[in-house]
Amino acid sequence: MFQKILHFVRVLYSISFNLGIILIVIIIGLEIFVGINIFFKTIQNEVPYYGFHIALIISFGASIFLGMTGRYLRYLYDKFPILAPIVTIIYVTFFGVELALKILNLWAQYAILGKSFAILLAVLAFCLVRLALSIWYKFFPIES
C-alpha cells in the first residue's frame, strides 16, 4: 500500500514538474524572438533592455537539467527522445541572446563600451554560443 502511494506521489510530482518545464521552454522559446527584436530596437533607440537576471537564467537551466537527469522526472524525455536536444538547443540559444543583450547594455546603459564595439561583441558572443552548440552536436549527434 505504501509503495502505491509513493508511486502516485512520484507520478504527480513528475507531471507537475514537467508542466513547469514545458512552461519554461515556452517562455524562453518566445524570449529568443523577443530578445532578437529588442536587440535591434536597443541599437536603434539607444535605450537599455532589462532582460532576465542571470540567477533566473541559471535556475531555468538547472530545472531543465534536473528534468533530464532525474529518474522520476524524465518521463517526457523517455517518451519523446527528440525532446531533450530540442530543449537544449532552445535553452542555449536563449542564453546566447541574453548574453548578447547584456553586452549591448554595457553600451546602452553604462556607456562602458562604444556603440560599434558593443554591437560587434554582442554579435560575436551570440555566434560563439551557437558555434559551441554546433561543435557539441558534431561530436555528440542527436541520433546517438
Q: All 3 cell numbers of residue 17?
A: 514538474
| 59 in a structural domain | yes
- Of residues 49 and 58, more confidence is placed in 58
Question: Which residue has 513528475 as its cell numbers?
Answer: 14
Residue 13 placed within a domain: yes
Which position has the higher pLDDT, 73 or 132?
132
C-alpha cell at 105: 547594455
92 closest CA partner among 67, 65, 120? 65
* Domain of residue 120, residue span: 2-139
Is 42 among the domain residues? yes
What is the reported pTM?
Answer: 0.84
What is the DSSP track for the chain?
A: -HHHHHHHHHHHHHHHHHHHHHHHHHHHHHHHHHHHHHHHHHHHH--------HHHHHHHHHHHHHHHH-TTT-HHHHHSTTHHHHHHHHHHHHHHHHHHHHHHHHHHTT--S-HHHHHHHHHHHHHHHHHHHHHHHHHS-TT-
Residue 37 pLDDT > 60, yes or no?
Answer: yes
Domain total in the chain: 1
- In-domain check, residue 144: no
Residue 80 domain-assigned (yes or no):
yes
- Residue 94 placed within a domain: yes
Radius of gyration, alpha carbons of the chain = 19
Confidence of residue 144 (pLDDT cuts 50, 70, 90): low
> Is residue 106, in this structure, part of any structural domain at all?
yes
Q: Is the pLDDT of residue 141 over 90?
A: no
Counting beta carbons within 10 angstroms of the beta carbon of residue 80, is it exposed (0 to 12), middle (13 to 18) or buried (19 or more)?
exposed
Q: What percent of the chain has pLDDT over 70?
A: 99
* Whole-number pLDDT of residue 2: 86
Domain assignment present for residue 11? The answer is yes
Position 26, amino acid: I
